[in-house]
């Protein structure tokens, strides 16, 4: 929880950094590619953590009850596909937004 607090404080500081360096005569800075990169990094990283946790839980469940392999693998593959689809949806949204 403390890490999220630090992340949000850093983002709040970055939100106010642009007006502090404004000189009034230059063109606006396009921050969309930077935001797209940060968004994709967050999506890919967190989906990777989710996939690792799901796979670890499936391996632990399989070690405890080897007879449940069939039903477990179906739900594992379905869960991993849904987790991966979140990253792909993020990629599509970012590609549409950057254009």
Neighbour-count burial of 80, counting CB atoms closer than 10 A to its CB (0-12 exposed, 13-18 middle, 19+ buried) = middle
pLDDT at 56 > cutoff 90: yes
- What is the model's pLDDT at position 5? 84
Q: 6: part of which helix (H) or strand (E)?
A: helix 2-15
- What is the model's pLDDT at position 49? 93
Return the percentage of the chain with pLDDT > 90, whole number: 25
The total of other beta-carbon atoms located within 10 Å of residue 84's CB is 15
Residues near 69 by beta carbon (within 8 Å), at least 6 away in sequence:
62
Q: How confident is the model at residue 85 (pLDDT cuts 50, 70, 90)?
A: very high
CA angle, corner 53, sides to 34 and 88, nearest 5? 40
Q: The tokens of 68 are what?
A: 């449940």
The pTM for the full model equals: 0.62
- What is the model's pLDDT at position 81? 92
Q: The tokens of 73 are what?
A: 């693998």
């Amino acid at each position: 929880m403390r890490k999220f607090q630090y992340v949000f404080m850093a983002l709040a500081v970055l939100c106010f950094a642009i007006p502090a360096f404004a000189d009034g005569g230059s063109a606006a800075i396009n921050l969309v590619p930077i935001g797209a990169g940060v968004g994709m990094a967050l999506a890919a990283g967190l989906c990777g953590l989710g996939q690792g946790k799901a796979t670890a839980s499936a391996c632990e469940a399989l070690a405890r009850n080897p007879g449940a392999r069939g039903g477990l693998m179906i739900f594992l593959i379905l869960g991993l596909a849904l987790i991966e689809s979140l990253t792909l949806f993020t990629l599509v949204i970012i590609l549409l937004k950057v254009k």
